[in-house]
Amino acid sequence: MTLVSFFSFLSKPLIMLLSNSSWRLSQPSFFLVGIPGLEESQHWIAVPLGILYLLALVGNVTILFIIWMDPSLHQPMYLFLSMLAAIDLVLASSTAPKALAVLLVHAHESGYTVCLIQMFFIHAFSSMESGVLVAMALDRYVAICHPLHHSMILHPGVIGRIGMVVLVRGLLLLIPFPILLGKLIFCQATIIGHAYCEHMAVVKLACSETTVNRAYGLTVALLVIGLDVLAIGVSYAHILQAVLKVPGSEAQLKAFSTCGSHICVILVFYVPGIFSFLTHRFGHHVPRHVHVLLATLYLLMPPVLNPLVYGVKTQQICQRVLTVFTQKD
């Protein structure tokens, strides 16, 4: 299944749902400002964003290609990495094309249904990425604490079920977002101070009661981030406990090094995400353009950096990449 057909497969039920005339008699279109306060220099900002998007596409497609083509990489860590790469492709492609269109060619208008579908994809796949990071922490825990039973515990069937749970959780938690937004009334200028459709930015435009939307959005954010960070923390607490029991500092360092890539990816995803979330809800003194730039980079940086982190810090991936690009006819 190609990326385009995957988008179409997931979008079709949402389009049917959002097009239901019993929801709303009129559906407004939204005007995406881009980066408020930096309108005159937006085309220059689009250049590095475009480069980041291109790097995300090349990096994640390369990771998927190498893992797909090399049977020796069909192991739990690399299968989870392929899930992460696929999610990063969708996440970057949900954000960057529209943001670049707004910044470069001033395509500011976004239809009601299109805006809500973009919002759904961004938040749903962010939730899925968090879920995959938990799965990768579980893989590191089993590999270090139960090395002899690693392949028995995390066999392909279990990995497939974990992937399905991550997918279903992301969809079920985020489907209420567009449903609840569909019940709001917009009676003022629908101008979004963003380069893409973001949940709270759309909620703030409504002139009807938004308490349920705000409460559910906050609940989902705290539930996903809170439980996932807790699960990762528990996994690494057990890993730390097991590693410290290993005799010899060299053996301990080697055990810790197997977690280095995953820890880097966790920091890249959660730190900017939590900062963006807090500034959006509580950072009233943070300049608007700073928040919008951070929110956009938060969605683009993990897809860019994840392949680089695993490509540099994982010997098997690095060797396969070098082999592919240095191969001569």
- pLDDT, residue 6, reads 52
Reported as a pLDDT band with limits 50, 70 and 90, residue 128 is very high
Question: pLDDT tens across 62-100, in order?
Answer: 899 888 888 888 888 889 999 999 999 999 999 999 989
- The enclosing H or E element of 47 equals helix 42-69
Asked if the structure places residue 283 within a domain, the reply is yes
Question: For residues 136 and 85, is the Cβ–Cβ distance under 8 A?
Answer: no
Residue type at 305 in one-letter notation: L
Asked if the structure places residue 10 within a domain, the reply is no
Residue 187 pLDDT > 80? no
Which of 1, 305, 10 is CA-nearest to residue 175?
Answer: 10
Quick one: 292 exposed, middle or buried, by C-beta within 10 A (0-12, 13-18, 19+)?
buried
Question: For residues 195 and 292, is the Cβ–Cβ distance under 8 A?
Answer: yes
Mean of all residue pLDDT scores within the chain: 82
Reported as a pLDDT band with limits 50, 70 and 90, residue 8 is low
The two structure tokens encoding residue 169: 């959780």
Reported as a pLDDT band with limits 50, 70 and 90, residue 5 is low
Asked if the structure places residue 109 within a domain, the reply is yes
Q: How many domains does the chain have?
A: 1
Question: For residues 66 and 320, is the Cβ–Cβ distance under 8 A?
Answer: yes
Asked if the structure places residue 136 within a domain, the reply is yes
- pLDDT, residue 27, reads 67
Asked if the structure places residue 46 within a domain, the reply is yes
Question: pLDDT tens across 35-71, in order?
Answer: 877 777 778 888 889 999 999 999 999 899 888 888 8
- Structural domain boundaries, residue 255: 30-327
Count CA atoms closer than 13 A to 5's CA, side-chain side. 2
Strand pairing category for 30-32 and 191-192: parallel
Asked if the structure places residue 17 within a domain, the reply is no
- Which of 222-226, 244-248, 285-289 holds the top average pLDDT? 222-226
Residue range 218-236: average pLDDT? Answer: 90
Asked if the structure places residue 9 within a domain, the reply is no
* CATH number of the domain that residue 260 is part of: 1.20.1070.10
- pLDDT, residue 61, reads 93
Alpha-carbon dihedral angle through residues 95, 99, 209, 28, given to the nearest 10 degrees: -110
Asked if the structure places residue 16 within a domain, the reply is no
Reported as a pLDDT band with limits 50, 70 and 90, residue 21 is very low
Residue range 263-288: average pLDDT? Answer: 76
Identify the bridge partners of residue 193 per DSSP, sorted by sequence position.
none
